[in-house]
């Protein structure tokens, strides 16, 4: 076998090993969106207070949260306008496999409804960045929400936890603004190509 053939096989072997390493790193550091849950809610005659649980399920990734902007919408009968209010939870950093507990309140105002036996809508918008070692991703927008029911006392039932959900696809590392799926396909193509070359 000529020297050029040995060099070619060596290069293919290097590409194959790099591809395997890339796939391994991708699977290890593939990010999952944080989950947001309303853990408590109290609707009074003049305001509404809430407790929020934020969970980072990633084993290797920390998360930088921008300010969490929450919106509250209360529905009235069809002949009356709806009432909305807003609240902001300051941004924060969250380590991997950590759960953060946050609290806040919505201010009431003229036309604030009676609190008893009501269903309210809570929406949350923010942006997150994932960090692994010294590398940080670009911002990924998060928009979630859910209906929260309060009883005769204006409180959400004790022990309940309502997850704010979204129909958006799960977060992923951004690569040139198109996501990492094309990158992963390229890596796998190189890996299989290198393997085939080594075998045959």
Residue spans per domain, the chain: 3-28+182-199, 35-172
Is residue 72 within 8 A of residue 106, CB to CB? The reply is: yes
How far apart CA 186 and CA 180 sit, in angstroms, is: 10
The 10s digit of each residue's pLDDT in 116-153 is 777 889 999 999 999 887 788 899 999 999 999 888 88
Q: What is this structure's pTM? A: 0.69
Span of 11-15, 25-29, 167-171 with lowest mean pLDDT:
167-171
Closest by CA position to 113, among listed 153, 71, 75: 75
The 10s digit of each residue's pLDDT in 144-190 is 999 998 888 889 988 889 999 985 444 333 333 333 444 445 445 54
3-class DSSP state of 6 = helix
| 34-to-5, 67, 185 alpha-carbon distances in Å | 49, 14, 26
| 36-to-20, 42, 101, 144 alpha-carbon distances in Å | 34, 18, 10, 8
Specify the residue for token string 């704010």: 164
How far apart CA 38 and CA 161 sit, in angstroms, is: 6
Q: Which CATH class is domain 35-172?
A: mainly beta
Is residue 161 within 8 A of residue 39, CB to CB? The reply is: yes
The 10s digit of each residue's pLDDT in 35-86 is 999 999 998 878 899 999 999 999 888 999 999 999 998 765 554 557 788 9
Task: Calculate mean pLDDT across residues 85-91.
Answer: 94
How far apart CA 200 and CA 187 sit, in angstroms, is: 20
Cβ-proximal residues to 91 (8 Å cutoff; 6+ apart), any chain: 64, 65, 66, 67, 68, 126
Strand partners for 130: 63
Average pLDDT, the chain: 77
């Amino acid at each position: 076998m000529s020297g050029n053939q040995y060099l070619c096989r060596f290069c293919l072997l290097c590409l194959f090993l790099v591809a395997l390493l890339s796939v391994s790193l991708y699977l290890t550091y593939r990010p999952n969106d944080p989950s947001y849950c309303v853990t408590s809610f109290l609707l009074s005659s003049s305001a509404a207070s809430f407790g929020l649980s934020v969970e980072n399920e990633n084993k290797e990734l920390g998360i930088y949260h921008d300010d969490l902007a929450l919106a509250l919408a209360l529905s009235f009968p069809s002949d009356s306008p709806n009432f909305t209010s807003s609240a902001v939870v300051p941004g924060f950093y969250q380590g991997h496999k950590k759960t953060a507990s946050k609290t806040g309140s919505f201010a009431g105002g003229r036309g604030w409804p009676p609190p008893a036996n009501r269903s309210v809508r809570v929406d949350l918008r923010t942006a997150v960045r994932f960090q692994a070692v010294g590398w940080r991703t670009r911002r990924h927008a998060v928009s979630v929400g859910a209906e929260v029911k309060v009883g005769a006392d204006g409180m959400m039932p004790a022990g309940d936890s309502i997850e704010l959900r979204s129909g958006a696809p799960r977060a992923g590392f951004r690569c040139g603004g198109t996501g990492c799926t094309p990158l992963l396909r390229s890596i796998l193509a190189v890996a299989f190509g290198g393997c085939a070359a080594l075998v045959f």
